[in-house]
């Protein structure tokens, strides 16, 4: 019978905040950001916001592993640590608060244990920080050697070896190295470290009952630091036998997790998991050192023993081996005042609390409503139609998404997407600045993050953040800029989520869409045709997931036989809103409407749309200084008087259409052209949709980052588009 776990706490909900309060009371070199319970950030007391002249090194994750991470904050190690609730990744806002609080002109390195929630949340925070002007790098540590080589993108779990990476990076930063150099040393350290744990008991979360998974005469090899099942449950054995087995697994030549062979030099860490007496850790160290030297021919340069990364009250230990060289030893030997390394607690303690840095103001603040209804530009109307169509399509297919997800996931994909879609429809009329495309996309991200929750909410927020960062770089937004934004979004999701084409995720819809959109625009297709073609590619990509074996998400844990013939619901959802948006844009652009434009054809908005197109068309530089023209369109060429027409005051425009080169008479700004096509159709043909639709050049640079953060060694775009012209 399971019993309530006994803890010396006040309330299970307060354990993390009260731990932080006690930590900063004990060690005068530490402070925390006021803002409990939402913000849980410990930082160095000697780092002034914005003035720190070295690379800031930040790590963090779920609590319950103390003293990791906050206990390693101090000169020579971490600049700040971000804590989530017990075994829960810290929220993005907390990570951003830490970045803003300690990062100076040298930039910031994030060190993240390889767990999906940590990767996504720290990844999104990094992208947001980049958009605010911070220089950011991120290194993911996966040092678990217990389990077989993982399938798909899950990768090796981050364990106690992460602490050694903290020390290497912190010392490198303290030595004044650049962000790129600090990140390189941290990445190298993460590639030469391996860990395996052994547990006598499963940890007990505050307020929960004890687990009876392990009997009194059993132990578990490879048990995770969150209580995840390990590689095997075996009978209790002597510590010497256990150490021999663990070292054999870490140094296995079959898995080749570590580049360590006979003659190598290493650093050894014997780490207690929370309830193991120091005596037992020393007994393990006593066996491990001679075993490495005599059995494997490996020299042990340093030995660290203590409880550095725990799992609450778990009984057991882990062994970490890092291949050492002169530089790594120099970093590990460098002085630090991080209290858990351990060091003394000398110095005077300043006030514990400092204010949370105020983030930059978003385009529309939380709870802020647009003061009055906007008079939408043509671009704003089209963007509004696309967003509305995409959201309504998600609402329409809610039940189908849930039905598919019941077979391959947890059955709530439709419900989660429905929440996001309905919130978007509610917010778009009163919160989204539709005439500001970048701002609107940013607000959509804020909407879905608040209501969707879970991995889907974070992924779609990452999509929006990456698109916003891409779009805001342009003074004018047209087809190529939108394609750049889509490509940047695809790359960001792959970078932080770890998936790519063929992994049976939403990217199997969005990667083909991005690829075909770029190819179609490059081939000379008009933007609407390119958008429709890319939507067809998205649908085909989503359908193709029926034949894929899942390599990411919950589906990757399900038998391939159960997944066969069922499409990935995330991919189907992405294809649905993308296709709906494409057809909405097409309908909006090709609807015949003789209603006078409220701004007038030569009004400021229309004029700016034409000028925006012209700025992006190759060969636009006019041969005559008095003219500006839009070239590159097969039927329509628009000529503008470049210098003597004041925007918003000139009420006529000269237009030449089709290959006959027959001029169309200049007309009043409130009248349609006197030709067969309506004014709206004529204008749309002239500008080729370039002021409204997604653009095409951002894909290359973003895709290259997939391997670095996503865990994949290659990125293969599985769908290509033939030359359409």
438-447 in b/e form (b: 16+ CB < 10 A) is bbbbbbbbbb
Return the higher-pLDDT residue of 636 and 126. Answer: 126
In the sheet that holds 655-657, the strands lie side by side as 627-630, 636-641, 655-657, 662-664
Which residues make up the CATH 3.40.50.10440 domain(s) of the chain? 12-335
pLDDT score of 551: 58
Tell me phi and psi for residue 341, to 5 degrees.
-70, -35
Domain 378-591+696-710 has CATH 3.30.70.20: no
Q: How many CB atoms lie within 10 A of CB 536?
A: 16
Q: What is the pLDDT of residues 230-240, one digit of tens each?
A: 889 999 999 99
Mean pLDDT of the chain: 79
Task: State the Cα–Cα distance between residues 53 and 545, nearest whole angstrom.
Answer: 49
Residue 660 has pLDDT above 90, yes or no: no
Return the higher-pLDDT residue of 261 and 706. Answer: 261
Q: How many CB atoms lie within 10 A of CB 634?
A: 12
Of the listed ranges 381-390, 573-582, 632-641, 698-707, the one predicted with least confidence:
698-707
The residues with which 353 forms a beta bridge, in sequence order, are 32
Kindly list the distances between the CA atom of residue 699 and the CA atoms of 153, 407, 429, 442, 514, in Å, as whole numbers in the listed order.
22, 33, 31, 19, 8
Task: State the Cα–Cα distance between residues 452 and 291, nearest whole angstrom.
Answer: 52
Residue 695 has pLDDT above 50, yes or no: no
Residue 704 has pLDDT above 60, yes or no: no
The residues with which 86 forms a beta bridge, in sequence order, are 63
Task: State the Cα–Cα distance between residues 229 and 221, nearest whole angstrom.
Answer: 9
pLDDT score of 596: 38
pLDDT band for position 714 (50/70/90)? Answer: very low
Domain 12-335 has CATH 3.40.250.10: no
Mean pLDDT of 65-70: 96
Task: Indicate the annotated binding residues.
Answer: 62-65, 113, 118
Mean pLDDT of 401-425: 88
Q: Strands 627-630, 316-323: parallel, antiparallel or unpaired by DSSP?
A: unpaired
Which residues make up the CATH 1.25.40.340 domain(s) of the chain? 378-591+696-710
Residue 163 has pLDDT above 90, yes or no: yes
Intra-chain end-to-end CA distance of the chain, in Å = 73
pLDDT score of 591: 65
Catalytic residues: 226
Concatenated DSSP letters of 199-250: ESS----TTSBPP-SS-TTEEEET--TTS---SEEEE---HHHHHHHHHHHH
On whether the pTM is more than 0.75, the answer is no
Of the listed ranges 184-193, 327-336, 398-407, the one predicted with least confidence:
398-407
Q: Tell me whether residue 640 is exposed, middle or buried, using C-beta atoms within 10 angstroms of its C-beta: 0 to 12, 13 to 18, 19 or more.
A: buried
pLDDT over 90, % of the chain: 58
Q: Is the peptide bond before 495 cis (omega within 30 degrees of 0)?
A: no
Tokens 């040298």, located at residue: 106
Is residue 694 a contact partner of residue 482, using CB atoms and an 8 Å limit? yes
Tokens 């844009």, located at residue: 585
Q: What is the pLDDT of residues 105-122, one digit of tens each?
A: 999 999 999 999 999 999
Residue 395 has pLDDT above 60, yes or no: yes
Kindly list the distances between the CA atom of residue 97 and the CA atoms of 23, 72, 147, 178, 670, in Å, as whole numbers in the listed order.
19, 18, 35, 22, 51
Among positive and negative, which fits the CA dihedral 185, 186, 187, 188? Answer: positive
pLDDT score of 361: 52
Most confident range (mean pLDDT) of 1-15, 651-665, 670-684 is 1-15
The region, left, alpha or beta by phi > 0 then psi within -120 to 50, assigned to residue 306 is: left
Of the listed ranges 260-264, 481-485, 518-522, 720-724, the one predicted with least confidence:
720-724
pLDDT band for position 50 (50/70/90)? Answer: confident
Tokens 């770089």, located at residue: 473
Q: Strands 41-44, 80-86: parallel, antiparallel or unpaired by DSSP?
A: antiparallel
Residue 703 has pLDDT above 60, yes or no: no
Mean pLDDT of 305-334: 95
Task: Indicate the annotated binding residues for substrate.
Answer: 62-65, 113, 118
- What token pair was written down for 513? 């869409």
Which of these, 332, 722, 700, 663, lies nearest to 519 by C-alpha position?
722
- What are the counts of helices (DSSP H) followed by strands (DSSP E) for the chain? 22, 18
Task: State the Cα–Cα distance between residues 286 and 580, nearest whole angstrom.
Answer: 66
Kindly list the distances between the CA atom of residue 649 and the CA atoms of 599, 680, 684, in Å, as whole numbers in the listed order.
11, 21, 22
pLDDT band for position 594 (50/70/90)? Answer: very low
pLDDT band for position 149 (50/70/90)? Answer: confident
Tell me phi and psi for residue 129, to 5 degrees.
-65, -40
Find the helix or strand (DSSP H, E) in which 417 lies.
Answer: helix 413-428
Q: What is the pLDDT of residues 323-371, one digit of tens each?
A: 999 999 999 999 999 999 955 333 333 444 456 665 565 555 545 555 5
Return the higher-pLDDT residue of 698 and 229. Answer: 229
Return the higher-pLDDT residue of 151 and 509. Answer: 509
pLDDT band for position 427 (50/70/90)? Answer: very high
pLDDT score of 2: 56
Most confident range (mean pLDDT) of 34-48, 377-391, 593-607 is 377-391
Q: What is the pLDDT of residues 495-550, one digit of tens each?
A: 998 888 888 899 999 999 999 999 999 999 999 999 999 999 999 999 998 888 65
pLDDT band for position 206 (50/70/90)? Answer: confident
């Amino acid at each position: 019978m399971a019993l309530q776990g006994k803890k010396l706490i006040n309330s299970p909900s307060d354990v993390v905040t009260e731990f932080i309060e006690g930590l900063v009371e004990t060690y005068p070199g530490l402070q925390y950001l006021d803002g409990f319970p939402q913000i849980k950030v410990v930082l160095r007391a000697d780092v002034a916001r914005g003035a720190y002249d070295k690379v800031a090194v930040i790590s963090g994750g779920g609590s319950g592993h103390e003293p990791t991470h906050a206990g390693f904050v101090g000169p020579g190690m971490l600049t700040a640590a971000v804590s989530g609730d017990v075994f829960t990744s810290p929220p993005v806002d907390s990570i951003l608060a830490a970045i803003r609080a300690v990062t100076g002109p040298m930039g910031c390195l994030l060190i993240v244990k390889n767990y999906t929630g940590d990767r996504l949340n720290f990844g999104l925070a990094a992208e947001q920080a980049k958009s605010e002007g911070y220089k950011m790098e991120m290194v993911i540590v996966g040092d678990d050697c217990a389990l077989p080589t993982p399938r798909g993108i899950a990768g090796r779990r981050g364990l106690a070896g992460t602490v050694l990476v903290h020390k290497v990076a912190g010392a490198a930063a303290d030595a004044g190295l650049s962000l790129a150099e600090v990140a390189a040393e941290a990445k190298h350290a993460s590639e030469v470290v391996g860990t395996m744990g052994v547990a006598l008991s499963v940890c007990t979360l505050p307020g929960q009952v004890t687990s009876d998974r392990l009997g009194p005469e059993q132990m578990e090899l490879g048990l995770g630091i969150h209580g995840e099942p390990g590689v095997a449950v075996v009978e209790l054995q002597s510590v010497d036998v256990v150490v021999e087995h663990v070292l054999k697994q870490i140094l296995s030549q079959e898995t080749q997790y570590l580049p360590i062979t006979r003659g190598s030099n290493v650093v050894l860490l014997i780490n207690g998991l929370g309830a193991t007496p120091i005596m037992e850790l020393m007994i393990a160290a006593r066996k491990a050192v001679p075993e490495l030297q005599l059995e494997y021919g490996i020299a042990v340069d340093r030995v660290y023993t203590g409880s550095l990364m725990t799992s609450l009250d778990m009984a057991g230990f882990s062994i970490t081996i890092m291949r050492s060289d002169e530089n790594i030893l120099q970093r590990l030997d460098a002085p630090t005042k991080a209290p858990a390394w351990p060091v003394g607690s000398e110095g005077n303690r300043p006030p514990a609390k400092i204010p949370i840095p105020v983030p930059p103001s978003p385009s529309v603040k939380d709870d802020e409503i647009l003061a009055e209804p906007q008079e939408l530009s043509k671009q704003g109307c089209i963007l509004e139609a696309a967003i509305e169509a995409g959201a309504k399509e998600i609402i329409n297919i809610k039940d189908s998404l849930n039905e598919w997800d019941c077979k391959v996931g947890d059955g709530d994909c439709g419900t989660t997407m429905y929440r996001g879609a309905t919130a978007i429809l509610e917010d778009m009329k009163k919160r989204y600045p539709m005439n500001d495309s970048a701002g609107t996309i940013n607000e959509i991200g804020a909407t879905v993050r608040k209501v969707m929750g879970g991995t889907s909410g974070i992924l779609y927020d990452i999509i929006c953040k990456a698109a916003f960062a891409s779009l805001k770089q342009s003074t004018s937004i047209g087809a190529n800029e939108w394609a750049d934004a889509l490509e940047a979004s695809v790359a960001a999701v792959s970078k932080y989520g770890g998936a790519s084409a063929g992994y049976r995720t939403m990217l199997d819809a969005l990667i083909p869409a991005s690829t075909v959109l770029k190819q179609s625009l490059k081939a000379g297709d008009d933007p609407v045709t390119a958008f429709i073609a890319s939507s067809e590619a998205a649908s085909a990509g989503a359908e193709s997931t029926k034949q894929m074996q899942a390599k990411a998400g919950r589906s990757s844990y399900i038998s391939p036989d159960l997944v066969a013939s069922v499409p990935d619901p995330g991919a189907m959802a992405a294809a649905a809103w993308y296709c709906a948006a494409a057809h909405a844009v097409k309908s909006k652009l090709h609807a015949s409407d003789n209603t006078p434009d409220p701004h007038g054809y030569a009004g400021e908005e229309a004029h700016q749309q034409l000028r925006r197109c012209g700025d992006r068309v190759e060969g636009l530089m006019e041969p005559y200084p008095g003219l500006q023209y839009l070239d590159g369109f097969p039927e329509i060429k628009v000529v503008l008087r470049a210098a003597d027409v004041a925007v918003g005051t000139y009420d006529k425009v000269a237009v030449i259409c089709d290959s006959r080169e027959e001029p169309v008479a200049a007309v009043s700004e409130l009248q349609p052209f006197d030709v067969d096509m309506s004014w709206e159709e004529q204008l749309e043909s002239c500008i080729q949709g370039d002021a409204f639709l997604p653009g095409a050049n951002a894909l290359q640079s973003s895709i290259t980052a997939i391997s670095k953060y996503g865990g994949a060694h290659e990125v293969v775009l599985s769908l290509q588009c033939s030359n359409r012209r």
